[in-house]
Chain A
């Protein structure tokens, strides 16, 4: 049987090695691995003939990319202005406290990653929290806790109310 090609090889072959495809390739590679592994970035730099530090620079410049593995569930709190004036700060604080991590981090059990985003363009629903592509609108600190608990329960990791 033929050896399976790595996602970065597939992506570079699909789009071509011109530098203008770098961001698209990084997106696709990240989709496969759920983050950007060092090895993949090295391969991409070599295949596209871009210096590694440039690839690394792009991967760290843009917020969509992560160099760390992500948890099973992505929790994204929108921090746009419309959400902010409706207390998205309080919602984020509660999500941080409940999960015990800061934005950009992943829980030790690899179940949750917490991210902030500077506007999802779903301002009418604010404050918005997105958990695995599902939008939850009009969030409050108490509600976000409920949502997160529900997800954890579905994973069989329900815990007591007491933090």
Chain B
């Protein structure tokens, strides 16, 4: 690394940037090994180390640049490796493959066939990253950087022209011009509700700070279950978030910032701290940034594991070292937020969009997306889907395009049932709404919401009443417990839904559920409680049949609700292999070797292990 020195003018930064680029010109190839959490779980660390050693051994270290990057998105296929400039894409790489890769693709220009991605739909081998259907329909304005930079090396970000938006902001723009640009770009908050970012900034700018202190915060408490976009941005490209925050702080007139990261994301915290240190060393953070006269610094605050801390006032309480309990917001946090001072809070992805807007200009930025929802949105496409991973798409794309064209549809020939967006505040949408364009307002209209970007696909094996139960149960635990409608309402809601999933439900309870849901929406103190009933309301609206089946026929068509299902062994198919008998954790299966087994219903706990281990499909779930 070039020795880092304090940079005190835009020209010095450009000089430094040129030096980095020149230094790198010697590399003929670049190998990026994905180091996101998904790939780490698949032992990408060992792949990286093996390749590092192999490069040294083969004398390639001087011509081949190796870097461990953040998440590339296609987590299903991890560990991932991309070789540039050819763009060769390797999936599921293991340390044993390294020798072949070095020989074929690094010494030569060939491709290791068995590591090439095969399109499950066409069966075709696809060698290049850009041609893989999963990536093809995406618009990776933010995510593409993840594959190009080592998050722990600020030089990588600078080599990609990072911090040029900051220079433009500090030296060519007035704070109000920055806000105007963001307003013209139509940027809306990516954290959930989609509030126009510029209107928040304006309010915070206008607010009077009695002691001169204003705050800019970044909400990185990504608590929505099934969502990990913010995690990947922070882990893979932390400087984009920092740059956005510095620009925002300049626009608002704030000198102090906090990033509130959930404690469950240790890698994100580590990378962020490294990034902040490096930015400080170069004078991109701290006093008199780049000699502009503007000062701003960022602290990292770590959460303690509470979903409710994604709510603005709870987040602020937690930063202050108190329990993460929301308070009433009759006076806006823009005026009285953290420590009762003017505060502006945006989410990770929102901040990451800011430098893009400044660099491209509002006009170009809003060419992507729809009229009222501009730009791209990152979703974590998970659940019953072939291509699991992070996808960045232009707003306005339909759910169907995301699920089928990018996601490759539902695996194992099963039938699509629903897609859940918006986390515990969102809703479940049925097949008939798959042509809904993904945009803040349209999703809201159909009873869901954009949320932070979780997109969970469900197939026929998912029970929608159970999904409602799941979210209510989740919120019972994650509600702070302060206000009555949320705390008591959720608890009663859970009782009612449990009655239904356990076969005790009545039709009157459905009405009570709806009434309770409305009161919770209207009277809860914070957004968590106000939206807590959405998963119940949306499943009731689109999947009422399943509720009625549970209540009237005591039937769970998906075979999920344990009280309503039984496991039996079909004696015609059973070979008496003893597998299920051995596997049954409660000894509920009787039968001799080579004779058909039977399940003793009184003992059976319906764990489904026998169903899972049977190779002859002799175990029947009804």
**So, do A and B actually touch in the complex, CB under 8 Å?**
yes
Residues of chain A having any CB pair with chain B under 8 Å: 18-24, 26-27, 50, 54, 57-58, 61-65, 79-82, 84-87, 90, 93-94, 97-98, 117-126, 128, 135-137, 140-142, 145, 161-163
Counting chain B CB atoms within 10 Å of each CB, which of A54, A84, A121, A141 scores highest? Answer: A121
A23 adjacent to B225 (CB under 8 Å): no
B609 adjacent to A142 (CB under 8 Å): yes
A118 adjacent to B321 (CB under 8 Å): no
Q: Within the assembled complex, what's the spacing in Å between the Cα atoms of A126 and B76?
A: 10
B302 adjacent to A118 (CB under 8 Å): no
CB within 8 Å for A21 and B224 given contacts A26-B304, A62-B304, A81-B454: no
Counting chain B CB atoms within 10 Å of each CB, which of A58, A82, A98, A140 scores highest? Answer: A82
Pairs of residues from A and B, 3 with the lowest C-beta to C-beta distance, nearest first: A62-B304, A124-B75, A121-B228
CB within 8 Å for A142 and B612 given contacts A122-B228, A123-B228: yes
Q: Within the assembled complex, what's the spacing in Å between the Cα atoms of A80 and B471?
A: 10
Pairs A–B under 8 Å by Cβ, sample size 9: A62-B306, A64-B303, A65-B304, A81-B225, A85-B383, A90-B609, A121-B265, A135-B40, A141-B609
Q: With A79-B474, A82-B380, A121-B37 given, can you name 15 additional A-B contacts, CB distance below 8 Å?
A: A20-B319, A27-B304, A61-B480, A62-B305, A81-B454, A85-B462, A85-B467, A86-B383, A94-B585, A121-B231, A122-B228, A123-B456, A135-B37, A136-B41, A141-B608
Residues of A within 8 A of B227 (CB): 119, 121, 123
B320 adjacent to A85 (CB under 8 Å): no
Nearest-Cβ distance from residue B405 to partner chain A, whole angstroms = 18
Q: Within the assembled complex, what's the spacing in Å between the Cα atoms of A114 and B477?
A: 17
B324 adjacent to A27 (CB under 8 Å): no
Counting chain A CB atoms within 10 Å of each CB, which of B226, B324, B423, B467 scores highest? Answer: B226
User: Closest A-chain residue to B380, C-beta based?
Assistant: A123
Nearest-Cβ distance from residue B55 to partner chain A, whole angstroms = 27
B253 within 8 A of A: no
Residues of A within 8 A of B609 (CB): 90, 94, 141-142
A90 adjacent to B225 (CB under 8 Å): no
Chain B positions 495-523 with a Cβ under 8 Å from a chain A Cβ: none
B303 adjacent to A90 (CB under 8 Å): no
Q: Within the assembled complex, what's the spacing in Å between the Cα atoms of A97 and B37?
A: 29
CB within 8 Å for A163 and B585 given contacts A20-B301, A123-B380, A124-B389: yes
Q: Within the assembled complex, what's the spacing in Å between the Cα atoms of A80 and B307?
A: 12
B612 adjacent to A125 (CB under 8 Å): no
Residues of B within 8 A of A142 (CB): 583, 609, 612-613
Q: Within the assembled complex, what's the spacing in Å between the Cα atoms of A23 and B478?
A: 18
B607 within 8 A of A: yes
Counting chain A CB atoms within 10 Å of each CB, which of B323, B380, B587 scores highest? Answer: B323
User: Closest B-chain residue to A128, C-beta based?
Assistant: B41
B337 within 8 A of A: no
Residues of B within 8 A of A85 (CB): 383-384, 456, 458, 461-462, 467
- Mask of B250-282 contacts with A, CB within 8 angstroms, 1/0: 000000000000011100000000000000000
CB within 8 Å for A58 and B223 given contacts A64-B304, A85-B458, A161-B582: no
Checking A54, A84, A86, A118 against B478 with a beta-carbon cut-off of 8 angstroms, the contacting residue is A118
Residues of A within 8 A of B542 (CB): none
B225 adjacent to A80 (CB under 8 Å): yes
Q: Within the assembled complex, what's the spacing in Å between the Cα atoms of A17 and B465?
A: 48
User: Closest A-chain residue to B473, C-beta based?
Assistant: A79
A62 adjacent to B477 (CB under 8 Å): no
A23 adjacent to B304 (CB under 8 Å): yes
B303 adjacent to A123 (CB under 8 Å): no
B222 within 8 A of A: yes
Residues of A within 8 A of B389 (CB): 124
User: Closest A-chain residue to B231, C-beta based?
Assistant: A121
CB within 8 Å for A80 and B75 given contacts A21-B321, A85-B383, A121-B265: no
A63 adjacent to B304 (CB under 8 Å): yes
Q: Within the assembled complex, what's the spacing in Å between the Cα atoms of A86 and B319?
A: 35
B333 within 8 A of A: no
CB within 8 Å for A118 and B319 given contacts A23-B304, A90-B607, A141-B608: no
B420 within 8 A of A: yes
A19 adjacent to B321 (CB under 8 Å): yes
Residues of B within 8 A of A50 (CB): 321
Checking A22, A98, A141 against B612 with a beta-carbon cut-off of 8 angstroms, the contacting residue is A141
Q: Within the assembled complex, what's the spacing in Å between the Cα atoms of A163 and B303?
A: 39
User: Closest B-chain residue to A22, C-beta based?
Assistant: B321
Residues of A within 8 A of B228 (CB): 119, 121-123
User: Closest A-chain residue to B228, C-beta based?
Assistant: A121
CB within 8 Å for A62 and B585 given contacts A22-B321, A119-B223, A121-B222: no
A90 adjacent to B608 (CB under 8 Å): yes
B608 adjacent to A61 (CB under 8 Å): no
Residues of A within 8 A of B222 (CB): 121
B38 adjacent to A122 (CB under 8 Å): yes
B388 adjacent to A63 (CB under 8 Å): no
A124 adjacent to B382 (CB under 8 Å): yes
User: Closest A-chain residue to B582, C-beta based?
Assistant: A161
B603 within 8 A of A: no
Nearest-Cβ distance from residue A81 to partner chain B, whole angstroms = 4
B307 adjacent to A118 (CB under 8 Å): yes
Counting chain B CB atoms within 10 Å of each CB, which of A22, A65, A126, A141 scores highest? Answer: A141
Residues of B within 8 A of A63 (CB): 304-306
CB within 8 Å for A123 and B384 given contacts A62-B305, A118-B474, A142-B583: no
User: Closest B-chain residue to A65, C-beta based?
Assistant: B304
B382 adjacent to A123 (CB under 8 Å): yes
Q: Within the assembled complex, what's the spacing in Å between the Cα atoms of A120 and B458?
A: 19
User: Closest B-chain residue to A20, C-beta based?
Assistant: B321
B470 within 8 A of A: yes
Nearest-Cβ distance from residue B265 to partner chain A, whole angstroms = 7
Chain B positions 281-322 with a Cβ under 8 Å from a chain A Cβ: 301-307, 318-322
User: Closest B-chain residue to A25, C-beta based?
Assistant: B321
B388 adjacent to A23 (CB under 8 Å): no
Checking B76, B470, B586 against A124 with a beta-carbon cut-off of 8 angstroms, the contacting residue is B76
B474 adjacent to A82 (CB under 8 Å): no
Nearest-Cβ distance from residue A83 to partner chain B, whole angstroms = 8
Residues of B within 8 A of A117 (CB): 264, 305
Q: Within the assembled complex, what's the spacing in Å between the Cα atoms of A142 and B607?
A: 10
User: Closest B-chain residue to A78, C-beta based?
Assistant: B225
Residues of A within 8 A of B302 (CB): 23-24, 27
Q: Within the assembled complex, what's the spacing in Å between the Cα atoms of A21 and B321?
A: 6
User: Closest B-chain residue to A134, C-beta based?
Assistant: B41
CB within 8 Å for A58 and B264 given contacts A82-B383, A124-B389, A141-B608: no
Q: Within the assembled complex, what's the spacing in Å between the Cα atoms of A86 and B612?
A: 13
A27 adjacent to B263 (CB under 8 Å): yes
Residues of A within 8 A of B605 (CB): 93, 97
CB within 8 Å for A123 and B322 given contacts A94-B607, A118-B477, A142-B612: no
